[in-house]
Structure 1
Amino acid sequence: MIQKYLDHLPLYRIEKISERHGVPIARSTLAQWVGQLGMSLQPLVDRLTALLLQGKARHADETPCSSLIRCARPNGPIWAYRSNDLEGAPIVVFDYQTSRSGQHARNFLLKWRRHLMVGDYGDTKRRSGKVIESGSLAHCRRKFSDLHVAGGAAWWWKRRCGESARVVGAVEARRAMVMRRLASRSDSRRRCRSWNALARPKD
C-alpha cells in the first residue's frame, strides 16, 4: 500500500519489484489486496467525511484522472474536499466521479450550509443560496489579467490582487513560524519532564 499510494508505483511495477526480491506476488493478488483495504477503510472515510462537514469553511476542487472504467468520460475527475487550516487537524476526502458536473459536489455536501471555496468552473459554482461562495484569489487575478491583455484597463486591480496575495503569503509564513516555535517549546517541556523523571532518586 505504501508503494502504491505514497511512492505512486503502479501494480505491475510492484509485481516486478517483489519478483526481484524473491517474493513473487501476482498482480491480481495485489489488486485484490487494494480492494480489500479499500473496503476495510470505508468506515474511516465515512467518519472523516462526517467530521469534514461539521466545519464552517471548506474547500472543493476537482482534477482530471485517467480511469479504466468504461464511461462517457474516461478521464473523470477526482473531487477533493478539504478542511480549513484554522479548524484543527487537516482533513482531505477524495471522491471519484465520472464527470465534472457540479451536482456531484452538491450531492457530497448535502445539507451542509457554510462558506465554500471553489475554483472558477461555472457548474461547480451553481449552488444553494445557503452556501456562501469564498472565491479563489488566484482565479480572481486571472480574470483581471485577461481584461488587462484585452484592453489594458484592469492593471490597477491586477496589482492589488498581487499585493493581497503577498500579504496572505506573509501571514501564512508567520503562522507557520509561530506553530514551529510552539511545537519546539512543547518538545522542550516534554524532554525536561523526561529528564526530571530519570533524575529523580528512586526509593
Structure 2
Amino acid sequence: MGIDKSNVRRIIHYGLPQSLEAYYQEAGRAGRDGKLSDCTLYCNSMRTPTLLPNKRSDEQTRAAYRMLRDCFHYALNTSTCRAKILVKYFGEEFGSDGCEMCDVCINGPPEMHDFKEEAVVFMNVLQAQAGQATEGMDYNSTDCYTSGRRNIGAVPDFRMAVSYIREKIPRFAMTDKIWWQGLARILEDMGYIQEAAEIVSNLFQ
C-alpha cells in the first residue's frame, strides 16, 4: 500500500487479498497511533477467489490456492474471533477468549442448528464418488449412492454431488447449491472433508 501514516482510521478491502499475510499487513496500517480504527472487508462469498500470479510452477500454484483458501475461510468465518484466527495462523496463541472488537465478538455466536442428516448424506455421496464404501447410512438406502460411484481414489466433484442429492433424494430436491456450499465449508472447518488443492479453483464454484 505504501502508506506510512500513524493516524489512518479506516482500511477498506474491496475483494480478498491473495493471502492472510497480505491482509494482516494491509489492515495493520490502521491505528498505528494506538487509537481505535476500522478495517472492513468486502468480498464475494459465493465462490473461492482464483486470482494467481501469471508465472508459477505447479507447487507455486498449489501454495497460492492454499493461501487464497485460508483468506476465503477467514472472510466466511462467523464463529471465531478474527484476532484469534490471525494470531493462530501465524503460530501463536491469543491470550483471551476474544478481542471483543471484531464483528464476530460483537455479534456473538451464530444460532445453532442440527444438520446431521444433511451432513451424513453429503459425505456419503462424496465417498461414493471416490469409490469408497458408504457404511452406516441411517437416512437412505445404500442403493441411492452406489449408482453414482466413480473410480476408487477419484476426487469428488461438488457440483455433481449436489445435483445427485437433489435428483435422488426428494426432500432435498428444492435445496440451493449455495446452502450445500456453506455446509461443505462447515464440514471442512471441522476436519471432516478436505478441499483438494489441484481443483480448488472449481470445486465450489
TM > 0.5 fold call: no
TM-score, with structure 1 as normaliser? 0.25
**Quick check: which one's strand share is greater?**
1
Higher helix proportion: 1
Rg bigger for which structure? 1
TM-score where L is the length of structure 2: 0.24
